[in-house]
Amino acid sequence: MSESRTSSVETPRVNTGVAHNARVWNYWLGGKEHDEVDEQVGGHVAGMFPVIRDVARADREFLGRAVRFLAAERGVRQFLDIGTGLPTVDNTHETAQRIAPASKVVYVDNDPIVLAHARSLLTSSPEGVTDYIDADVHDVDAIVERAAATLDFDEPVAVMMLGILNFVLDTDTACDIVRRVMNAVPSGSFLALTHPTFDADLGGEGNVAAMAFWNENATPPITARPRAEIAAFFEGLDLVEPGLVSCAQWRPDTGAPGAVPQFGAVALKP
Ligand SMILES: C[S@@+](CC[C@H](N)C(=O)[O-])C[C@H]1O[C@@H](n2cnc3c(N)ncnc32)[C@H](O)[C@@H]1O
């Protein structure tokens, strides 16, 4: 078990005067790792758009189902989780290592608060490995180089990009980031991704004003994308059934859950 840190990109330092996504996400999930300002802004957003708490929960549940699917049904043993978030129950390594204890997981985030909690992300099973890289998602070369200290890039890797590309505001740049990460992993690898949308068929129109409020009062700025733009992230990859759907409806464990305005999908690199 080791910890690496990249320093080639400036990361924002702790600023408890401004609400920050990782801490507000934790607040919406019912966690305790947030400050007063995160509660105020997160609470205001939830007042405008109460579904945001369901979105956060559905996203985490998608993470669990996607990792279980990849580890148990597709035999993936390596995970690169970019935009990790604050540790919560069933982080990627816990779910993967319950199925295959020797699984290797590298986490990447640029939030100093996540970095401060990285120790909780580094509690690997004795047979496996976990690592944490403090890096910006734009810095793909540094991420791949540092991750290669833990992951074997000649073997399949599941790239997890849940709720992260929405912080890359330019769509061409976001597509380029995905393309470069997926170019670094071999055939047989996977991309798992979630992303918010304003698409009305998923109930996203209710988030327009709340997201505008976020962008005026919190950091980092965020964007939603329509289905077609999110589908473009999967160009050249084979979507696993049921394809690009509301993340709540991706291979649900039970019943037929309603949609939340957050797309989710898993795709294979052929
Ligand atoms: C909405 S949370 C998602 C956390 C987790 N992936 C999940 O789905 O529950 C987004 C995470 O992305 C991180 N993040 C935002 N912008 C980033 C960037 N430019 N580089 C790296 N991480 C970033 C935030 O710090 C936060 O922890």
Residue 1 has a pLDDT of: 35
State whether the beta carbon of 110 lies less than 6 angstroms from ligand 1.
yes
- Tell me the Ramachandran region of residue 11: left when phi exceeds 0, alpha when psi lies from -120 to 50, beta otherwise: beta
Residue 121 has a pLDDT of: 77
Radius of gyration, CA atoms only, the chain: 17
State whether the beta carbon of 121 lies less than 6 angstroms from ligand 1.
no
State whether the beta carbon of 164 lies less than 6 angstroms from ligand 1.
yes
Residue 14 has a pLDDT of: 55
State whether the beta carbon of 193 lies less than 6 angstroms from ligand 1.
no
State whether the beta carbon of 156 lies less than 6 angstroms from ligand 1.
no
Q: Which atom of ligand 1 is nearest to the CA of 137?
A: 20
Nearest CA to ligand 1 atom 9: 60
Centre of ligand 1 from the C-alpha of residue 85, in Å: 5
Centre of ligand 1 from the C-alpha of residue 128, in Å: 24
State whether the beta carbon of 25 lies less than 6 angstroms from ligand 1.
yes
Residue-wise pLDDT tens digits, 157-196: 999 999 999 999 999 999 999 999 999 999 999 999 999 9
Give the mean model confidence (pLDDT) for residues 114-140: 92
Among 61, 50, 81, 73, residue whose Cα is nearest residue 248: 61
Residue 3 has a pLDDT of: 36
Residue 2 has a pLDDT of: 38
State whether the beta carbon of 220 lies less than 6 angstroms from ligand 1.
yes
Lowest mean pLDDT among 118-132, 159-173, 178-192, 216-230: 118-132
Centre of ligand 1 from the C-alpha of residue 109, in Å: 6
What is the rounded average pLDDT for all residues in the chain? 93
State whether the beta carbon of 22 lies less than 6 angstroms from ligand 1.
yes
Residue-wise pLDDT tens digits, 3-24: 333 333 333 445 568 999 999 9
Residue-wise pLDDT tens digits, 28-75: 999 988 889 999 999 999 999 999 999 999 999 999 999 999 999 999
Can you give the residue ranges of every domain in the chain?
Answer: 19-268
Protein fold of 19-268: Rossmann fold (3.40.50)
Bridging pattern class, strands 78-82 and 104-109:
parallel
Is-contact 40 19, C-beta < 8 A? yes
Is-contact 147 80, C-beta < 8 A? yes
d(CA 81, CA 83): 6
Here the tokens at position 136 are 């910006």
Q: Which residues contact 116 (CB under 8 A, 6 or more apart)?
A: 14
Q: What is the pTM of this model?
A: 0.94
Residue-wise pLDDT tens digits, 194-210: 999 999 999 999 999 99
State whether the beta carbon of 257 lies less than 6 angstroms from ligand 1.
no
State whether the beta carbon of 137 lies less than 6 angstroms from ligand 1.
yes
Here the tokens at position 44 are 């205001």
Q: Which atom of ligand 1 is nearest to the CA of 83?
A: 12
